[in-house]
């Protein structure tokens, strides 16, 4: 199974700052089938990015994804108050099991 390792575990930033979250895979992620989800307390995860860099429907353009192969990045260009949450990366595609990273918490500094 592909193991996804996210870093850092926690990111302490102020509103308006830029957030850069990393996701590293233990093996190449084929076709860049890498997704990012946002989860706020008491809520289910929400899909933000798929295909490593495509925004899901309704996701603001301050969220962007990049990367390929084994190294992927989620960037939030300017943090809004509602962006403080936990973010997960996930490998999807034709071959389960589909695995998640352990999450990065973006907290208010």
Partner 1 sequence: EVQLVESGGGLVQPGRSLRLSCAASGFTFDDSAMHWVRQTPGKGLEWVSGISWNGGIIGYADSVRGRFAISRDNAKNSLYLQMNRLKPEDTALYYCAKDSSSWYSGRFDPWGQGTLVTVSS
Q: Does residue 87 touch partner 1 according to CB under 8 A? A: no
Residue with tokens 């830029």: 18
* Residue 2 bridge partners (DSSP): none
Residue 103 makes contact with partner 1 by CB under 8 A: yes
Q: Which stretch binds partner 1 (CB under 8 A): 15-23, 60-68, 73-81, 100-108?
A: 100-108
Contact 79, 15 (CB under 8 A): yes
Show Cβ contacts of residue 93 under 8 Å, excluding neighbours closer than 6 positions. 29, 30, 31, 33
Interaction with partner 1 in 24-83: which residues (CB under 8 A)? 33, 35, 37, 43-47, 50, 56
Q: Which is nearer to partner 1, 20 or 33 (CB)?
A: 33
Confirm or reject binding of residue 97 to partner 1 (CB under 8 A): yes
């Amino acid at each position: 199974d592909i193991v996804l390792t996210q870093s850092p575990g926690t990111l302490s930033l102020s509103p308006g700052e830029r957030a850069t979250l990393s996701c590293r895979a233990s093996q190449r992620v084929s076709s860049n089938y890498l997704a990012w989800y946002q989860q706020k307390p008491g809520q289910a995860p929400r899909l933000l990015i798929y295909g490593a860099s495509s925004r899901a429907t309704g996701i603001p353009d301050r969220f962007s994804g990049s990367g390929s192969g084994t190294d992927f990045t989620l960037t939030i260009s300017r943090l809004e108050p509602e962006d403080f949450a936990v973010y997960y990366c996930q490998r999807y595609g034709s071959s389960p099991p589909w695995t998640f990273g352990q999450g990065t918490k973006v907290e208010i500094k």
